[in-house]
C-alpha cells in the first residue's frame, strides 16, 4: 500500500511538473533531483535478433540419474537435502552395515585360514618328498645289489656250463679210452690163448707164453683203470650237470630278485612323483582363491552400503528418509545435472532441413527474462505421431536458471546474423546522434552510452557498451538522467 501511494505521489508530482513547465519544458527538467522514478528492469541477454519461426520446446536435464542402492537395507545416514548441489563421488546416503562388517571380518578370517592351509600343504609335501626320496634311494640300492647278484649268478652259470662242457669232453675221452682198453684186453686174451696153444704144441717158448700172459695182465689193469676213469668222468659229469642246474636256478632267482627290485624302485619313484605333486597345494590354492572371492564380495557389499553420486548435479527428488528400508527396486534420490540442459522441440517438415547438428539457435525462456544461444545436438529423421521431427538443443546453464520442465522459445538464426547483447527496444534512448541506456545500480540509474547493431520489433541488439546480465531500465527512460533515483517495480 505504501508503495502504491508513493507511486501515485510521484505520478502527481510529474503531472504537476509538466503543467508548471508548459510545452517548452522537457520532462527531465520537470523532475526534481530528489524525485524517485518508478521503473521496470530487464536482464541484458546474450543473443541475436531472431529471424526465423519460433518453436516451443521443453527443458530437460543433460543428465538425470535415479539413485538406487545395490542392496536392501535401512538408511542410517543421509547428509543431503532436496535442491542441494552434489559432486561426483559425494556420499548421498549410507545403509546400516553392522552385519556387513561382520561378514567382511568372517570372510577375511577364511582367507587367513586358507593361506595357512597352503603353508600346511607345502610342509606336508616337503616331508612326503623327503620320505619318498629316501625310499627311492633304498629301492635303487636294492636294485643295484640285485643286479650285482644276477651278474654273479650269471657268471656262475657260465662257469658251470664250461665245467660241464669240460666234464662231458672228459667222459668222451674216458669212454674212448675204455673202449680202447677193452679192445686191448680182448686182443691180449686172444693172443695169450693162441700163444698157450702154440706152447702146448711146442711151437713157442715158455718165455713167449709168459710175455703173452704179462701183456694180458697189463691189459686187464689198463681196462680196470679205464673203467674207473670212465666212471669218475661220468660222476663228474653228473656233478657238473647238478652244478649247472643249481647255478641256473640261482641265476633265475637273482633275475627275479632284480625284476622285483626294479618294480620296487619304480614304485618308489612314483611315490616321489606323488609326493612332489602339487595337487594338494593346488587344492589349497583354489580354496584360497574362493575365500578371496568371498572376501572381495563381502567388501563390495560393505562398499555398496555407502551410496555416492555418479555425476555432478542437484538433488531433484528425495523419496526416503533416515530409518526407512530401501531396496534396489525403487529409487531413493534423483540427481540431475543442469549445468547444461537439453531443450526438446519439434520441427515441421518444411523447416527440419533448415538445420543440422551444430546449427545455432536462439533460446528464450517463457517464464522469465532469459535469452541465450543454443546448439542443435540431435535431429530425428522420424516424425513423432504428427508432432513433427524431434530436435534436441544443448544450452549452457551455469547459473541453473533453466529448470527441468520449463518451456522455452526456440528461434532459428539466419546465416551471418550479428551476435551481441539483446535488450528490449524500450530501453533505448537517442540524443544528439548517440545511443544510451540506463542501467540500474542500487537505487540510482546510470547512463551508459552503447552502440546499437540492429533493432527489430520489441528487441534491440547492442554490440558494445553493455555486458551480459546487466540490469537495464525498460520504461520511464525519458524521465531519467544519470544518477536519478529510482524504485524498481516488479
Three-state DSSP class for residue 200: helix
pLDDT at 460 over 50: yes
* Residue-level pLDDT at 289: 92
Q: Judge whether residue 3 has pLDDT over 50.
A: no
Phi, psi of 260 (to 5 degrees): -65, -40
* Distance of alpha carbon 449 from alpha carbon 206, whole angstroms: 193
Highest mean pLDDT of the ranges 98-112, 193-207, 258-272? 98-112
The three cell numbers locating residue 307:
551410496
The whole-number average pLDDT for the span 73-99 is 95
Cβ neighbors of 301 (< 8 A, separation 6 or more) are 71, 100, 103
Q: What angle do CA 17, 21, 25 make, to 5 degrees?
A: 115
- Looking at the chain, the number of H-run helices and the number of E-run strands are 6, 22
pLDDT of residue 417: 76
Q: CA distances (Å), 481 to each of 18, 328, 445, 485, in order? A: 17, 64, 7, 9
Q: Is residue 300 part of a domain?
A: no
The domain of 220 spans 102-282
Q: Which H or E run includes 311?
A: none
Confidence at residue 4, expressed as pLDDT on a 0 to 100 scale: 43
Closest by alpha carbon to 114, among 295, 298, 297, 303?
295
Side-chain-side CA neighbours of 427 within 13 Å: the count stands at 33
Query: Phi-psi bin for 401: left (phi > 0), alpha (psi -120 to 50), beta?
Result: alpha
Q: Please write the tens of the pLDDT for every residue from 392-450.
A: 999 999 888 899 999 999 988 877 777 888 888 999 999 998 999 999 999 999 999 99
pLDDT digits (tens, 9 = 90+) for 269-308: 877 777 766 777 888 889 889 989 999 999 999 999 999 9
- Give the chain's length: 490
The H or E element spanning position 219 is helix 206-276
Question: Comparing C-alpha atoms, which of 307, 261, 294, 313 is closest to residue 91?
Answer: 307
Give φ, ψ of 341 to 5 degrees. -120, 160
**Position 27 pLDDT exceeds 70:** no
Asked if residue 120 has pLDDT above 70, the reply is yes
Q: Which of 106-120, 171-185, 310-324 has the highest mean pLDDT?
A: 310-324
Q: What percent of the chain clears pLDDT 90, i.e. is strictly above it?
A: 45
Q: What is the overall mean pLDDT for the chain?
A: 86
pLDDT for 33-71, tens place per residue?
678 999 999 888 888 876 678 899 999 999 999 999 999
Cα diameter, the chain: 226
Domain assignment present for 139: yes
Q: Could you tell me if residue 342 is inside a domain?
A: no
Return the top range by mean pLDDT from 1-10, 197-206, 325-334: 325-334
Please give the tally of structural domains in the chain.
Answer: 1
pLDDT for 1 equals: 40
Q: 357-372: per-residue pLDDT in tens? A: 998 898 989 888 788 8
- CA dist list (Å): 148 to 134, 187, 249, 251, 488: 21, 58, 16, 11, 124
| CA 1 – CA 7 distance, rounded (Å) | 10
pLDDT of residue 440: 93
What is the per-residue pLDDT across 123-140, written as a single tens digit (0 to 9) for each? 877 877 788 788 888 888
CA 42 – CA 459 distance, rounded (Å): 12
Q: Is residue 193 included in any domain, yes or no? A: yes
- Look-up of cell digits 508548471: 20
CATH number at residue 112: 1.10.287
Percent of the chain topping pLDDT 70: 92
Residue 172 lies in a domain: yes
* Mean pLDDT on 169-198: 89
Q: Is residue 245 in some structural domain?
A: yes
Read off the pLDDT band of 12 (50, 70, 90): very low
- What per-residue confidence (pLDDT) applies to 428? 93
Question: Which pLDDT score, from 0 to 100, does residue 288 have?
Answer: 85
Establish if 32 belongs to a structural domain.
no
pLDDT of residue 466: 93
In a domain, 272, yes or no: yes
Amino acid at each position: 500500500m505504501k508503495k502504491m501511494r508513493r507511486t501515485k505521489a510521484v505520478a502527481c508530482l510529474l503531472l504537476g511538473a509538466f503543467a508548471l513547465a508548459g510545452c517548452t519544458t522537457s520532462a527531465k527538467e520537470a523532475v526534481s533531483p530528489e524525485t524517485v522514478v518508478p521503473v521496470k528492469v530487464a536482464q541484458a541477454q546474450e543473443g541475436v535478433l531472431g529471424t526465423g519461426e519460433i518453436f516451443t520446446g521443453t527443458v530437460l536435464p543433460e543428465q538425470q540419474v535415479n539413485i538406487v542402492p545395490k542392496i536392501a537395507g535401512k538408511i542410517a545416514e543421509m547428509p543431503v537435502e532436496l535442491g542441494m548441489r552434489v559432486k561426483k563421488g559425494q556420499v548421498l546416503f549410507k545403509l546400516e552395515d553392522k552385519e556387513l562388517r561382520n561378514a567382511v571380518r568372517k570372510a577375511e578370517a577364511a582367507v587367513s585360514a586358507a593361506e595357512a592351509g597352503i603353508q600346511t600343504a607345502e610342509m606336508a609335501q616337503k616331508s612326503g618328498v623327503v620320505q619318498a626320496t629316501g625310499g627311492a634311494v633304498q629301492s635303487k640300492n636294492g636294485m643295484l645289489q640285485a643286479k650285482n647278484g644276477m651278474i654273479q649268478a650269471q657268471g656262475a652259470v657260465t662257469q658251470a656250463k664250461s665245467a660241464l662242457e669240460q666234464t662231458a669232453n672228459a667222459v668222451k675221452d674216458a669212454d674212448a679210452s675204455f673202449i680202447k682198453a677193452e679192445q686191448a684186453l680182448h686182443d691180449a686174451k686172444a693172443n695169450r690163448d693162441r700163444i698157450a696153444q702154440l706152447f702146448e704144441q711146442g711151437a713157442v717158448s715158455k718165455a713167449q707164453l709168459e710175455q703173452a700172459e704179462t701183456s694180458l695182465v697189463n691189459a686187464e689193469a689198463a681196462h680196470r683203470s679205464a673203467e674207473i676213469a670212465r666212471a669218475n668222468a661220468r660222476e663228474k659229469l653228473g656233478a657238473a650237470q647238478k652244478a649247472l642246474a643249481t647255478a641256473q636256478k640261482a641265476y633265475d632267482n637273482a633275475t627275479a630278485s632284480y625284476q622285483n627290485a626294479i618294480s620296487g624302485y619304480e614304485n618308489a619313484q612314483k611315490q616321489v612323483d606323488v609326493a612332489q605333486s602339487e595337487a594338494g597345494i593346488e587344492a589349497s590354492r583354489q580354496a584360497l582363491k574362493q575365500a578371496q572371492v568371498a572376501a572381495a564380495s563381502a567388501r563390495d557389499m560393505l562398499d555398496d552400503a555407502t551410496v555416492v553420486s555418479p555425476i555432478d548435479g542437484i538433488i531433484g527428488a528425495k523419496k526416503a528418509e533416515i530409518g526407512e528400508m530401501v531396496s534396489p527396486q525403487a529409487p531413493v534420490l534423483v540427481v540431475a545435472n543442469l549445468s547444461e540442459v537439453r531443450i526438446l522441440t519439434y520441427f515441421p517438415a518444411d523447416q527440419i532441413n533448415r538445420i543440422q547438428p551444430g546449427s545455432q539457435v536462439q533460446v528464450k525462456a517463457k517464464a522469465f527474462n532469459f535469452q541465450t544461444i543454443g546448439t542443435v545436438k540431435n535431429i530425428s529423421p522420424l516424425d513423432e505421431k504428427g508432432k513433427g521431427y524431434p530436435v534436441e538443443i544443448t544450452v549452457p546453464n551455469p547459473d541453473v536458471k533453466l529448470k527441468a520442465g520449463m518451456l522455452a522459445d526456440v528461434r532459428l538464426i539466419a546465416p551471418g546474423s550479428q551476435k551481441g547483447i539483446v535488450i528490449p527496444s524500450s530501453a533505448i534512448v537517442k540524443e544528439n546522434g548517440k545511443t544510451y541506456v540506463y542501467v540500474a545500480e542500487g537505487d540510482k540509474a546510470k547512463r551508459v552510452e552503447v552502440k546499437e547493431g540492429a533493432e527489430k520489433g520489441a528487441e534491440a541488439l547492442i554490440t558494445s557498451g553493455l555486458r551480459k546480465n546487466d540490469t537495464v531500465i525498460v520504461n520511464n527512460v525519458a524521465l531519467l538522467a544519470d544518477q536519478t533515483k529510482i524504485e524498481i517495480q516488479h
